Amino acid sequence: MNTWHIHIGGLVQGVGFRPYVCRMAGALGIKGCVSNGNDGVHILFNATGEQATGFYNKLVSSPPANAIIRTHHCERAHSQKFDDFSIQASDSTAKPDMLLAPDIAICHQCLHEIQDPGSNRFQYPFTTCLECGPRYSIISDLPYDRENTTMAELKMCACCHTEYNDINNRRHYSQTNSCPYCSIPIHLFDNQGIAICHDTECAMVLVHQALQEGKIVAVKGIGGYLLLCDATRQHSIRTLRERKHRPAKPFAVMYPSLAMMEKDLIITGKEKEALTGKVSPIVLCKLKQEPATGLCANAVAPGLDKIGAMLPYTPLLFLLSRRFAHPLIATSGNLSGSPVIYTDEDALIWLGEQADLILAFDRDIVTPQDDSVLQFSERYGHRIVLRRSRGLAPNYYPSPFDIDNNILAMGADLKSSFALLDDHNLYVSQYLGDQGSYDSQESYKNTLRHLSALLHFKPGHILIDNHPDYFVSKAGKDIGEELKIPVSGIQHHKAHFCAVLAENDLLHDEENVLGVIWDGTGYGDDQQIWGGEFLLLEDGDISRYMHLDYFPQLLGDKMSKEPRISAVSLLRNNMDHLMLIRDQFSIEEREFYLKLLNQQQHLLTSSAGRLLDGIASILGILSFNTYEGEAAMKLEAAARKCDRSLFDHYAIPVNKNRLNWSTMIDAIMADKKEGLAIPLIARKVFVSLAMLIRNVAIRSGVKKIAFGGGVFQNALLVDLIAELMQEEFELYFHKQLSPNDECIGFGQIAYIQLMKQYEKKNSQQTEMIHY
């Protein structure tokens, strides 16, 4: 009998792979050992050639549910004799080469246990198993073992040890195992940071009582603190808005069950699947006309027809939610414009300003993450990632790249996220927010530092956005200078285009592809602000095929915060039209903008995002954004009030390579003057944009059309495009990533991949800015 070695790489730690191997070996009568290494799982065993082949094939053909096998091989090894099969100590000597286990929502078995009075984990708020619980958020080092997580200081009791060592137990070698007898200590504080109690049941009762009284409670989750309050009580929601300085941005709502959720929301099959899956994200679902739970829908999401709904994804949140038995607001515990608070110390310092009580526990969070957010288009069920974070980050698999260099791609400043290409493994960080504040910048740097340390990652090339003022671009230059490695700048919209190409395996495609890249802002090759782009991939080269006609970018970034400024820019050549929006300005402001319009404007934009902002203002929907994307979201909500069989639209003529939106604006003003209903005008706008894309695609003669940029978070527009174009064209949208700027780092690497292929094919250097 020979000795064999099986090596399996990929996502094989934190998913119950070692216990799975033990059970399989036991069933087949195989003796040997299994261990974690920094490069995956290693198995040594005694077997005949036939037995080894059978064991190997079984292991790789039916792995644990949460595993991803990326590589595997079996070979003869030096002879060893084994008397049983065991799990051996992990080996941390190799450079890490693996995918990292994301945090996993509570599984159905654990959910059943905490509701079963006969279970030893009945109502235990930190119940986990091999199938669920925190992973990425608590890892401090690799390989994945308890001592390399923030569970290291929390010792298991004798009962948990017995489970841990029992090959037939579902918690065999579960690194996050605990129970009421070795409970993770819990602490309840008032808003002055004074401890109220340290007993689990006492804390749960007091939190429940506070929620019933309309108070706000900060509760620690997997990736950070959440603020909870009664979603059926106007006063509680109003108080939360006042304390968070968040006048209109929608809140997510947590329901104790899908059944209760369906009393308020219309939930499709795909939405149910997402809500109840292992990620357990927030999912935008359509409100019913009359929510039956008493949900204060307009206070939760003012002016919108969808609610971000979620189910509890930790046992603690489930027990609190079930006991309260009503919908709860569940929003990130953070200061305005800053990342989610995740340390207990910061929670006690800062969240007392927002919450009446603070519920903490002694399992520290290493990597903070917001909740992931998804939506599905109404008609075609197209999945749109709005925020990629808890449960989805940091792995991207399979990697579409084949580049012989380690790359750090810094991404963009808004909706920030970076990407690491580490040999054949690709990681895209969780959503890191807008980099306009010091706290967000520190969060970005800490996350990059931590992930790099985990992976022992050393970049050989830095990629940045061409925008001269981006924090992340400046940080990339600093890293490049420190490490003395090249730094290359990549145009924002080309990165967007390459991201959707890579997601759809189109980087290697021989056919031309037309990219429709629409967003709010991006620094263009002509030093203007792009955002309404049609880019053409032809023979490995990306060119600007067409774009929305330019209009003045007035007052810099202030324009993105005040849709009325976009309206002024769009209407600048028609004084009669300008007069129709004069009520949105004071007398002094009118004089200021008239003087401004008489000056030569050097900074121009082609932004589709600002075009939609301006139209929302013109229609009287919104003059000031209180959160990013508010005007466009409310314009979309207005359009959804219309009969979807209506396809009236406005003309947008082509003038050489520019698309004359002013014709549409004139027609909108005429419709408004005639008293046409605002929802009908709004729908005509979105139909017009879909028709424009179709017309440009026909003119280009290209059959493959790829879509990127934040505008394509608009589910109505995505459905209209599909309805008008899918019979004639091949349409490509993002899959794992968001179309917004979270995909830019990934797209920067994709651009390098494309250029490498082009250089190899044509034996010439491509144009790129190097620093």
What is the DSSP track for 450-463? HHHHHHT---SEEE
Dihedral sign from CA coordinates of 322, 323, 326, 329: negative
Q: Vertex 91, ends 87 and 92: CA angle to 5°?
A: 145
CA distances from 572 to 550, 568, 662 (A): 12, 6, 10
How does DSSP classify residue 549?
Answer: P
Contacts of residue 485, Cβ cutoff 8 Å, sequence gap at least 6? 459, 460, 461, 462
128 vs 280: CA distance, rounded Å: 15
83 vs 391: CA distance, rounded Å: 40
284 vs 54: CA distance, rounded Å: 46
577 vs 572: CA distance, rounded Å: 8
Farthest CA pair distance, the chain: 93
Instruction: From 751, 234, 287, 686, select the one nearest 501 (Cα to Cα).
Output: 751
726 vs 734: CA distance, rounded Å: 16
Instruction: From 486, 386, 409, 404, select the one nearest 750 (Cα to Cα).
Output: 409
Contacts of residue 90, Cβ cutoff 8 Å, sequence gap at least 6? 35, 36, 37, 143, 145
Instruction: From 252, 196, 199, 202, select the one nearest 227 (Cα to Cα).
Output: 252
Query: How are beta strands 357-361 and 217-220 bridged, if at all?
Result: parallel
Torsion, Cα 613 615 618 619, to 10 degrees, reads: -110
Tokens of 470: 């981006």
Q: Vertex 679, ends 678 and 685: CA angle to 5°?
A: 90
**How many Å is the Cα radius of gyration of the chain?**
27
Q: Are 419 and 409 in contact (CB under 8 A)?
A: yes
How does DSSP classify residue 527?
Answer: S
Q: Are 129 and 278 in contact (CB under 8 A)?
A: no
For residue 531, the model assigns a pLDDT of 98
686 vs 70: CA distance, rounded Å: 42
Crossing angle (nearest 10°) for helices 715-725 and 678-700: 50
Which residues is 552 bridged to in the sheet?
A: 604
- Phi, psi of 137, rounded to the nearest 5 degrees: -70, -20
Number of H helices, E strands in the chain: 24, 33
CA distances from 331 to 36, 268, 379, 511 (A): 37, 23, 28, 45
259 vs 567: CA distance, rounded Å: 44
Name the pTM for this structure.
Answer: 0.96
743 vs 736: CA distance, rounded Å: 10
3-state secondary structure of 704: strand
- Phi, psi of 644, rounded to the nearest 5 degrees: -75, 0
Identity of the amino acid at 727: E
Identity of the amino acid at 474: K
For residue 767, the model assigns a pLDDT of 58
For residue 395, the model assigns a pLDDT of 98
Instruction: From 288, 290, 324, select the one nearest 309 (Cα to Cα).
Output: 288
450 vs 139: CA distance, rounded Å: 10
Query: How are beta strands 31-37 and 85-87 bridged, if at all?
Result: parallel
521 vs 709: CA distance, rounded Å: 10
Instruction: Report pLDDT digits (tens) over 507-554.
Output: 999 999 999 999 999 999 999 999 999 999 999 999 999 999 999 999
168 vs 159: CA distance, rounded Å: 15
For residue 763, the model assigns a pLDDT of 59
Pick out the chain residues at pLDDT < 50. Answer: none
Chain-centre distance for alpha carbon 416? 10
For residue 337, the model assigns a pLDDT of 86
Contacts of residue 480, Cβ cutoff 8 Å, sequence gap at least 6? 462, 486, 487, 771
Instruction: From 369, 375, 471, 504, select the one nearest 429 (Cα to Cα).
Output: 369
Identity of the amino acid at 74: C
Structure-token match 């706000």, residue found: 216
How does DSSP classify residue 710?
Answer: G
Contacts of residue 453, Cβ cutoff 8 Å, sequence gap at least 6? none
115 vs 119: CA distance, rounded Å: 8
Structure-token match 């603690």, residue found: 316
How does DSSP classify residue 139?
Answer: B
